[in-house]
Structure 1
């Protein structure tokens, strides 16, 4: 595949084409993500917990443990979960149809064999079904081609968000994959504190949310859909700005969802555009400018031209 083909031909991923696999993979990423939460030092806004897009899938990045450093990698090229440690040890687990409970048990055994001790709460977060991982026999689908398509889109979304991130010189998060909400995100900050977040996110403690939203921010990212909703790029501000609903943004397919309280660009609109990457960049830039202007951010200092 040439670079030009990669840039211009974005694959389709209808929500109903992989809903069972989506639900299973979401829980598997939470299990691995909770390992990073347990091992990594606390950072502002929980930046120590997400996963990162790689040329082969998703990774925790290096994590400290008593014997050195370790990493857990979802390799969606060959469909394996790998654990690497700095002393040269490696463990592998096939990514194939298996229940969440079986995956959890096999994964904990891999950690133990690698000498990695982890205490984690074995319950999913930010989703309605909180069946403990140890008891979840219902979610067991794994459609490898669908996962490869999901990863293909993640690669493209990551590249666009990285370019968007480069246009800002204020405080900004990495581009990272949050396993709780199952989305790829990047967040810009004004440098000012924000009022306490009201909380209310399903199965997520309010004190966790308040740390995430402790400062004024404009966040953007890509969400692969779920619960009957299709995938979309999104953008929102915290604190919320009611006037944003009236803002003019680009491209024409983007809109403000009053129900969600954020801007949305349906993935299908983006991928079928003449230039998908430019369509997404236009959405990210125009929604940021609308929100930053309304919130009176010091764009002369924060923006990078």
Structure 2
């Protein structure tokens, strides 16, 4: 087993995980408030980096980027003027984190306006009113980031074998899931929405195209252990009983998704290939049962320094008319 895949104990760090989740929501909502809408809320996500989770540039003031540095355990902001500001990630309250973040954005020349209410969490308390003390377990956060780097690597490789519309590999701060999504290219039925603490129009816009999606949760969302998930929308007939790999994967009736416990991947002789088997088999079940045009949409996995062989439409045959070609 590679040490790139650390052990994760959600119940042992769930209070820190919950706090980090809310801090990511605060910064994510700031990004959401200042960036033009991009399909399926892609304008609001975070990206895994070798040191943490980054926002990418936010068009506010001189241009601002926020990094959760999960190695040095700092929130770091940089701006187009070359200025840098930061504060420690440590035991605190959500309200105190929010106040420090507002001060950081102001110092960088931005306008720290954003919605004050958490999304997709039970019994949401406005950030500015959440004064409950929260722990910060640096070692657990480090292991979580280490796992995310490994997962991001496999998700990215999986993404290279699809020629159709595909999402980036990105972290949604609503449910705290790292995800990658493939699209059939067809419209989907209107989603029923009704997701707690999430506006219906956001949910319906997110699912207005047919998708096969996979992701990773550190825990929560109806489970008390870290796990990978996969689902299709709309769910094609026979999907929930489709054979998927590896053997530890199963259909979760309560979540209506395939699940694969992280511990199985972490303990596998080749964790990368165990996770890839789950990604590929759940996608193939969705694509085959949903009658996707797989020949048009797929290609081999990408490799460094090797250009994908083109698969363009054939040129029409030359014809001769009155001696002119």
TM-score by length of 2: 0.90
Instruction: Give the equivalent residue in structure 1 for 2:266.
Output: 271
1:240 and 2:243 equivalent? no
1:61 and 2:61 equivalent? no
Asked whether the 8 Å contact 2:91–2:133 carries over to 1, the reply is no
CA distance in 2, matches of 1:6, 1:172: 30
Residues 100-122 of structure 1 deviation map (CA, whole Å, 9 limit, x = unaligned): 01000111011112110032111
Asked whether the 8 Å contact 1:39–1:118 carries over to 2, the reply is no
Aligned Cα root-mean-square deviation (Å): 1.2
CA distance in 1, matches of 2:105, 2:74: 15
Task: Judge which range, 226-235 or 204-213, deviates more.
Answer: 226-235
Q: Say which SS state the counterpart of residue 40 (structure 2) adopts.
A: helix
Q: Say which SS state the counterpart of residue 18 (structure 1) adopts.
A: helix
Q: CA deviation at 1:241?
A: 2.5
Q: Say which SS state the counterpart of residue 47 (structure 1) adopts.
A: helix
> Which of 285, 288, 295 is the matching residue for 2:283?
288
The ranges of structure 1 where at least 4 consecutive aligned residues each deviate by more than 6 angstroms after the TM superposition are none
Q: CA deviation at 1:228?
A: 5.2
Long gaps (5+) in structure 2: 301-325
Larger radius of gyration: 2
Long gaps (5+) in structure 1: none
CA distance in 2, matches of 1:140, 1:113: 25
Count of equivalent residues: 299
Which residues of 2 match residues 1-305 of structure 1 at below 5 A?
Answer: 5-7=2-4, 10-67=5-62, 69-226=63-220, 229-305=224-300
Instruction: Give the equivalent residue in structure 1 for 2:303.
Output: none
CA distance in 1, matches of 2:41, 2:65: 18
CA distance in 2, matches of 1:191, 1:272: 36
Q: CA deviation at 1:274?
A: 1.0
Change (3 A) 1:242 1:137: farther
Asked whether the 8 Å contact 2:11–2:224 carries over to 1, the reply is no
CA distance in 2, matches of 1:184, 1:194: 23
Q: Say which SS state the counterpart of residue 201 (structure 2) adopts.
A: helix
Asked whether the 8 Å contact 1:15–1:229 carries over to 2, the reply is yes
CA distance in 1, matches of 2:84, 2:3: 32
CA distance in 1, matches of 2:254, 2:21: 24
Asked whether the 8 Å contact 1:218–1:288 carries over to 2, the reply is yes
Residues 220-265 of structure 1 deviation map (CA, whole Å, 9 limit, x = unaligned): 0111112652111111000122411211111110111122111111
Residues 258-299 of structure 1 deviation map (CA, whole Å, 9 limit, x = unaligned): 221111111111111111110000010011001100000000
